[in-house]
Amino acid sequence: MRYQTQGTCSTSIDIELKDGVIDSVKFTGGCNGNLQGISALVKGMTPEEAISRLKGIRCGFKSTSCPDQLARALESMI
């Protein structure tokens, strides 16, 4: 599934679930190293676990962040 982000440097997130767990996450744009790290850390988690860890994280003065947008994307999938 592709999710169009809002309010972040990344513009979209591609997410694949396999057997109820996160199989892959790929961000387009944004801080490449940090987003690769987030993608690696959530691989193998259930969407619910990732949402509980990432939802509400803010980036500076923004009301959202790339991790928060990932949580929102996962919420739309479950």
Residue 47: exposure state from Cβ atoms within 10 A (0-12, 13-18, ≥19): buried
Structure token pair of residue 34:
């940090």
Q: Which of 56, 59, 55 is nearest to 74 (CA)?
A: 55
Q: Tell me the fold of 2-77.
A: Enolase-like; domain 1 (3.30.390)
CB proximity list for 20: less than 8 A, separation 6 or greater: 46, 47
- Specify the residue for token string 């990432």: 54
3-60 pLDDT per residue, tens? 999 999 999 999 999 999 999 999 999 999 999 999 999 999 999 999 999 999 999 9
Q: What is the pTM of this model?
A: 0.97
57-76 pLDDT per residue, tens? 999 999 999 999 999 999 99
